[in-house]
Amino acid sequence: MASSSLPIHIAIIGGGIGGLSPAIGLQKHPQISFTIYESHSSFSEIGAGLGFTTNAHRAMSPISPALYEKFKSVALFNGTEEKRGFAFRHQVGEEGPDEGKEIIEVQIPPGLEQSSVHRNDFLDVLVGCLPDGGRSCVEFGKRLVEIRDGEDEKLICMFADGTSVDADVVVGCDGLKSVSRLYVFGSESELSRPRFTGKIAYRAIIPMERAIKAIGEKQARNRQMYLGHHGFMITYAMAKGTLLNVIGFRTTESNTWDGEWFRPAKQEEYERDFKGWGKTVKSLISLVEQPDLWAIFDHPPVSTYHKGRLCLLGDAAHTTAPHFGQGAGMALEDAHVLSSLLGRCTSTSELTAASRAFDYARVPRTTRVMAASRGQGNLVCFEDPDAGSDLEKVAELINWDRRMWLWDYDVDGNCKQALEKFEEERGSFR
């Protein structure tokens, strides 16, 4: 029998981009209440810059028009206004006769955009869009350790501090090492665990003034990728052009990773891993004072992101190698779709239909992006089985046309698909 106790209460696990975005979208639905449970004692983003592409921009306004407006006030759309439609200039980054040779400069078709933002600035924007600046809807210091089935199809979230809460729905946004994911696939399943991609990344921020002095204004202010054998470096400006975000990727010799997934690194390690690279790459590394080292993971493809009334979102659902810069963008797409679906629910009996519709719309899109992102990492490390280090072939595969589907994505169309599926599903669940 349909249970109609309202409001529907939602527990959101994790207060990262993936947790805050659906919360922002849910606040417009009066039949819904929610609480965000975050393990840390405050909001915090680790890492430096974030690149967003058109699909991510398109997801923001439907979540909340204020979100996109506030985002625009902190985002940088590129070094110079006339290069707003410019994606990345790809060049050879290694020492040797081809050093500095342009492989391809990718131009974005008119109407589409790419942006960058400091993670902390974006986090402030998200928190500023929460009701009451988050004060009344977030509980800090709540580390989820387990999810259990409760009465009346409710779920019970158990926290490390010994407390627990009941919820009608749980949205698991607890990232790469998601505990929520264990409820969906089981703690023994390989599907619960992310896979090491074999690549590591050194992340750092350099003051723009210093970068300009070292490598010149044009090179520093506009987006660059330096490609080579088994590695690449990506640089882009952020914080309104005052900082340069620098990430150096290397392929390791192992397919397994035993240590922490990120840790502080030493500049000497970074230099050692980029021995044999060209002048520009080395100059940038010499300016890095405190790099962080990240192991790069992704999730195995799965056919569902939910079990009953628990739905995974963002990295908890589909951790993706960052080579197309899509992880946070996909979390925003997810948030638009899931908050719209949950907003349609008028009783708790419709919640499973919403989860099924979410899967229907989001599994194919995110699975495709995950696979393409791995492939892109291989391509720019000259490891693509067809292109290798043949610069013409690499250029052909990098070219814009091949990634049109990724950026020029009909985010609203995807949401509409989900809502149609929901109407169909809720008929059969009533």
377 is an interface residue for ligand FAD by CB under 6 A: no
Q: Of residues 203, 223, 250, 365, which has the active-site annotation?
A: 203
Of the candidate residues 18, 93, 228, 291, the single one contacting ligand FAD (CB under 6 A): 18
Which part of the chain contacts ligand FAD (CB under 6 A), choosing from 183-191, 263-271, 281-289, 321-329? 321-329
Question: Quick check: 331 binds ligand FAD (CB under 6 A)?
Answer: yes
3-state secondary structure 386-424: CCCCCHHHHHHHHCHHHHHHHHCCCHHHHHHHHHHHHHH
Give min distance, CB of 31 to ligand FAD, in A: 25
Q: Shortest distance, CB of residue 175 to ligand FAD, whole angstroms?
A: 3
Distance of alpha carbon 382 from alpha carbon 362, whole angstroms: 31
Which one among 174, 273, 359, 383 touches ligand FAD, defined by CB under 6 A?
174
How is residue 3 written in tokens?
Answer: 């249970």
Rounded least distance, CB 420 to ligand FAD, Å: 26
Of 15 and 134, which has the nearer Cβ to ligand FAD?
15
Q: Minimal distance in Å, beta carbon 54 to ligand FAD?
A: 12
Q: Out of 25, 134, 198, 322, which residue is the one contacting ligand FAD (CB under 6 A)?
A: 322
Helices 411-429 and 327-344, axial angle in degrees (round to 10): 40
Q: Of 32-40, 93-101, 303-311, 367-375, which part binds ligand FAD (CB under 6 A)?
A: 32-40
- The rounded distance, in Å, linking the Cα atoms of 392 and 324 is 20
Name which of 19 and 387 has its Cβ closer to ligand FAD.
19
Q: Which is nearer to ligand FAD, 11 or 354 (CB)?
A: 11
Shortest distance, position 146 Cβ to ligand FAD, whole Å:
10
Q: Which of residues 223-262 bind ligand FAD (CB under 6 A)?
A: 247
Q: Which of 12, 34, 38, 291 binds ligand FAD (CB under 6 A)?
A: 38
Pick between residue 328 and residue 391 the one whose CB is nearest to ligand FAD. Answer: 328
Restricted to residues 300-319, the positions that interact with ligand FAD (CB under 6 A) are 314-316
Instruction: Pick the closer one to ligand FAD by CB: 42 or 136.
Output: 42
119 as an active site residue: the answer is no
165, 173, 288, 397: which one binds ligand FAD (CB under 6 A): 173
Q: What is the nearest approach in angstroms of ligand FAD to the Cβ of residue 373?
A: 10
Give the 3-state secondary structure of the chain.
CCCCCCCEEEEEECCCHHHHHHHHHHCCCCCEEEEEEECCCCCCCCCCEEEEEHHHHHHHHHHCHHHHHHHHHHCECCCCHHHCCEEEEEEECECCCCCCCEEEEEECCCCCCEEEEEHHHHHHHHHHCCHHHHCCCEEECCCEEEEEECHHHCEEEEECCCCEEEECEEEECCCCCCCHHHHHHCCCCHHHCCEEEEEEEEEEEEEHHHHHHHHCHHHHHCCEEEEECCEEEEEEEEHHHCEEEEEEEEECCCCCCCCCCEEECCHHHHHHHCCCECHHHHHHHHHCCCCEEEEEEECCCCCCCEECCEEECCHHHHCCCHHHCCHHHHHHHHHHHHHHHHHHCCCHHHHHHHHHHHHHHHHHHHHHHHHHHHHHHHHHCCCCCCCCCCHHHHHHHHCHHHHHHHHCCCHHHHHHHHHHHHHHHHHHHC
- Site membership for ligand FAD, residue 291 (CB under 6 A): no
Q: Are 74 and 122 in contact (CB under 8 A)?
A: yes
Binding ligand FAD (rule: CB under 6 A), the pick from 25, 172, 228, 325 is: 325
Query: Closest residue (Cβ) to ligand FAD?
Result: 327
The footprint of ligand FAD on residues 334-373 (CB under 6 A) is: none
- Minimum CB separation of residue 276 from ligand FAD in Å reads 22
Q: Which residues of 30-52 are buried (b: 16+ CB within 10 A; e: fewer)?
A: eebbbbbbbbeeebebebbbbbb
Among the residue ranges 31-39, 164-172, 298-306, 359-367, the one whose residues contact ligand FAD (CB under 6 A): 31-39
68 lines the binding site for ligand FAD (CB under 6 A): no
Of 171 and 354, CB closest to ligand FAD: 171
Whole-angstrom distance, CA of residue 282 vs CA of residue 302: 40
Which of 10, 23, 50, 126 forms a contact with ligand FAD (CB under 6 A)?
50
Q: Which of 10, 12, 13, 293 binds ligand FAD (CB under 6 A)?
A: 13
Give catalytic residue positions.
203
Residues near ligand FAD (CB under 6 A) are 13-19, 37-40, 47, 50-51, 142-144, 173-176, 179, 201, 203, 247, 294, 314-316, 322, 325-329, 331
